[in-house]
């Protein structure tokens, strides 16, 4: 069997293990409930999330939600986030995607642009604004100023962002966008193409919502970087990487006490992808500090082995430190300082 046929077969088989998944009528796509927006709350069986199975060699496997407009090109990392068991042909998929992405016919899926966007000043007359800023302040034990909000590219009201930047087209339905605007507070991505929102209400099924501002397919730069003063002339730059934006704020305020450095949240890109981004962009002398979440039932030793393998060659070139919160019952640093018990490793 050719690699392509094998890929099609394993991909299809794996996707069909997802709860409630079905083929679309032409069998060219597999359909299930959206893992990103939680899909329709009103209709517990309706499905809006499509994954396109490559039909001929060179077709990219892409996914798309008709409700929240989350979309992207499939990778094994993305796939593993949906599956109960790990996808068993990661190399096959990733090398296929890498090759197919270079084809002219797939040009529409590449996003190399950094969008120009202005961060709106939070509108304090909006009844939801105060509530959302308080959510962050209380959760982290901090006191955000308007200046902080602009500097950290925090988006308090989605519609203000869209209006200020004259983005007319909504990514999802009007109703869904209203809920994001009212209940969510988030961080604008590195390329200004996404907002990674934390849901502070209970009207959307998910805790996190990724808002795709321009409807791009490529989410490889959807991670977040916090602006901070760095002096590259004086010794190594400390680069702090967490999984999410709120944890990053906690690290910045309570662990490093706002010390100079680069602060990034990998947001679905993975630590490896984020580290690779910094190295590709001409890095210098750096020390990486990464802050993985303590997941339930996590076997730390095997996790570190996996991380070492993924980060591979980089760890021989740059010191990589791992810091986790060992405070009982807490999984990350997105909390008040009294619940932080940092534990340090070096790999």
Q: Which residues bind Zn ion (CB under 5 A)?
A: 34, 36-37, 65, 67-68
Smaller CB separation from Zn ion, 176 or 263: 176
Residue 199: closest CA among 250, 139, 255, 241:
139
CB of 82 to Zn ion, least distance (A): 12
Cβ(64)–Cβ(219) under 8 Å?
A: no
**To the nearest whole angstrom, how small is the minimum distance from the Cβ of residue 68 to Zn ion?**
3
Q: Closer to Zn ion at the Cβ: 36 or 96?
A: 36
Distances, alpha carbon 270 to alpha carbons 78, 152, 218, 223, 275, in Å: 10, 21, 15, 9, 9
Instruction: Report the residue number, 210 or 283, with the smaller CB distance to Zn ion.
Output: 210
CB 199 within 8 A of CB 207: yes
Strands 237-242, 286-291: pairing kind: parallel
The strand pairing partners of 314, in sequence order, are none
Pick 36 or 252: Cβ nearer Zn ion: 36
Least separation in angstroms between CB 36 and Zn ion: 5
Kindly state the smallest distance separating residue 65's Cβ from Zn ion, in Å: 3
Closest approach of Zn ion to the CB of residue 40, in Å: 9
CB proximity list for 323: less than 8 A, separation 6 or greater: 251, 255, 289, 290, 291, 342, 343, 344, 345
- Report helix, strand or coil for 288: strand
Q: Which is nearer to Zn ion, 36 or 50 (CB)?
A: 36
């Amino acid at each position: 069997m050719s690699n392509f046929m094998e890929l099609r077969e394993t991909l299809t088989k794996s996707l069909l293990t997802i709860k409630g998944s079905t083929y679309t009528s032409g069998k060219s796509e597999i359909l299930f409930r959206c893992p990103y927006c939680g899909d329709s709350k009103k209709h517990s069986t309706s499905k809006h999330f499509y994954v396109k199975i490559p039909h001929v060699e060179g077709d990219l496997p892409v996914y798309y939600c008709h409700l929240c407009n989350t979309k992207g090109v499939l990778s094994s990392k993305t796939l593993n986030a949906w599956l109960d068991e790990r996808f068993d042909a990661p190399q096959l998929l990733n090398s296929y995607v890498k090759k197919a992405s270079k084809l002219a016919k797939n040009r529409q899926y590449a996003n190399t642009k950094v969008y120009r966007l202005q961060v709106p000043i939070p509108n304090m007359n909006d009844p939801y604004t105060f509530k959302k800023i308080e959510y962050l302040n209380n959760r982290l034990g901090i006191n955000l100023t308007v200046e902080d909000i602009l500097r950290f590219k925090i988006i308090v009201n989605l519609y203000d962002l869209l209006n200020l930047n004259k983005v007319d087209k909504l990514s999802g339905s009007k109703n869904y966008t209203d809920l994001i605007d009212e209940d969510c507070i988030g961080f604008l991505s590195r390329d200004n193409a996404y907002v990674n929102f934390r849901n502070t209400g209970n009207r959307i099924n998910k805790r996190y919502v990724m808002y795709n501002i321009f409807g791009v397919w490529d989410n490889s730069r959807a991670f977040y970087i916090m602006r901070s003063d760095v002096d590259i002339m004086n010794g190594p730059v400390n680069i702090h990487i967490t999984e999410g934006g709120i944890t990053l704020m906690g690290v910045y305020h309570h662990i490093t006490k706002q010390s100079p450095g680069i602060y990034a949240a990998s947001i679905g890109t993975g630590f490896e992808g984020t580290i690779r981004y910094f190295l590709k962009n001409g890095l210098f002398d750096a020390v990486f500090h990464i802050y993985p979440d303590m997941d339930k039932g996590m076997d730390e030793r095997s996790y570190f082995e996996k991380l070492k393998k993924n980060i591979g060659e980089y760890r021989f070139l740059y010191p990589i430190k791992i810091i986790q919160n060992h405070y009982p019952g807490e999984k990350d640093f997105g909390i008040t300082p009294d619940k932080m018990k940092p534990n340090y490793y070096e790999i």
